[in-house]
Amino acid sequence: MISAPAARPSTAASPHSGGVFDSEGDAKRLADIEKDLAKPDAWGNPEALTPVLQEKSRIEGNLARYKELKDCRDDMAAFLELAEESEGDELQELLESLAEQLDLLEQRLDDTEMVTLLGDEEDAKNAILEIHPGAGGTEAQDWAEMLLRLYTRWAARRGFKCEEMDYLPGEEAGVKRVTLRLIGPYAFGQLRSERGIHRLIRISPFDNSGRRHTSFASVDVIPDVGNEIKLDVKESDLRIDTFRSSGPGGQGVNTTTSAVRITHLPTGITAQCQNERSQHHNKDSAMRILMGRLYNLELEKRDAERQATYDSKDAIAFGSQIRTYTLQPFRLVKDHRTGCEGTDTDAILDGDIDKFQHAFLLWRFAKLHAQGAR
């Protein structure tokens, strides 16, 4: 049978310790996985196979990045050697090629740095992302839907799979609540940066007077642990409520008692799902969300960095935002933790948030090391 991912150091350095890619270790682990996958009974238990295949994908990505960096370095060395022996137009062409290769190397190094900063065990997992509008009715609900579009576009840019686990539409526009499952390498680690309150300043499309409005929405992100993590959750500690799905579900979704809400009584943590017509499927999805939240709670207990987490926010309102998106009277997106800014608001709202995520990981890295130095 396929073995579970071995307890081994991450291929990317942990922000807590520092380090470099272990290409030899990765290559050996990949060979072991491929040897296991070739066994006759390898595919007999798909549930046990899933984390192994995810680990295989991560390792292949790390080895590909290592090869790209090495090839880029070798190409630059070759161009430099030829440039030393050239002159005139030939030299100019070589220098232009060298400049292009340098830009490519910088891009590869940025990508590598991102993965190196994603060194916590949970960073490599899929993510469950939840969006809630703040006070403000339709205006805030529309902003929540804009964020939903941002993250689905972000996922599409990376080729990530995006599953809608729970969705409650607004009465006039937007959404009242939405939960997504994003499936891809390092999804949770990259989306850590989005956890908190997001503020929008714009001329409201719902205000006939054309006045400027400020709206808030909260984003929570937890690791999708699936069945990989075994938590000691007693059945007696769970309260399971069923109810009719709300919203324009159609095709029987909101005509049967199929929606499920699960409450973990000792902590008060809840999770619910209503998207499927099957109560059984909704229960499975709600349980997946609940287990992720309980696992995240355990992470927070041992992590001194608490101020950016969704549950630590008293209100979705002024003074608690992590990022502000200003569309009027000027166009600017600013992260209040890192100071990172961007003026191409259209691209950012279309999912181009890479530099904000990169800046957050560097900020978090520095913060954790500063705490460790005390």
Nearest to 184 by CA among 228, 138, 152: 152
State residue 227's pLDDT score. 60
State residue 129's pLDDT score. 96
Do 335 and 322 contact (CB within 8 A), yes or no? Answer: yes
pLDDT 10s per residue in the chain (374 long)? 334 333 333 333 343 433 446 788 889 999 999 988 888 888 887 767 777 887 888 788 888 888 888 888 888 888 788 888 878 888 888 888 888 888 888 878 877 787 788 878 789 889 999 999 998 889 999 999 999 999 999 999 999 999 998 899 998 899 999 999 999 988 999 999 999 999 999 998 888 787 899 999 999 999 998 766 667 788 888 898 888 776 554 444 455 678 888 899 988 888 888 877 788 888 888 888 888 888 888 777 766 444 444 444 445 655 579 999 999 999 999 999 999 999 999 999 999 999 999 999 999 888 877 766 55
Residues 352, 218: Cα–Cα separation, whole Å: 19
Residues 233, 264: Cα–Cα separation, whole Å: 9
Strands (E), the chain: 126-133, 161-169, 175-183, 196-203, 212-224, 238-243, 259-264, 269-273, 321-326, 332-335, 341-342
The sheet with strand 259-264 has its strands ordered as 238-243, 259-264, 269-273
Do 208 and 232 contact (CB within 8 A), yes or no? Answer: no
**Mind listing the domains of the chain with CATH numbers?**
23-117 (1.20.58.410), 121-373 (3.30.70.1660)
State residue 12's pLDDT score. 38
Residues 334, 339: Cα–Cα separation, whole Å: 6
State residue 149's pLDDT score. 97
DSSP 223-291: EE-TTTS-----GGGEEEEEEPPPSS--TTTTTSS-EEEEEETTTTEEEEE-SSS-HHHHHHHHHHHHH
State residue 215's pLDDT score. 94
Query: Cα separations (Å) of 241 from 100, 232, 260, 266, 268?
Result: 59, 21, 6, 16, 14
Nearest to 195 by CA among 306, 341, 326: 306
N- to C-terminal Cα distance for the chain?
46
State residue 214's pLDDT score. 94
Do 13 and 119 contact (CB within 8 A), yes or no? Answer: yes
Tokens of 291: 């287990």
How much is the pTM?
0.68
State residue 305's pLDDT score. 47
Do 213 and 124 contact (CB within 8 A), yes or no? Answer: no
Tokens of 246: 């709300």
Helix, coil or strand: residue 369 = helix
State residue 14's pLDDT score. 40
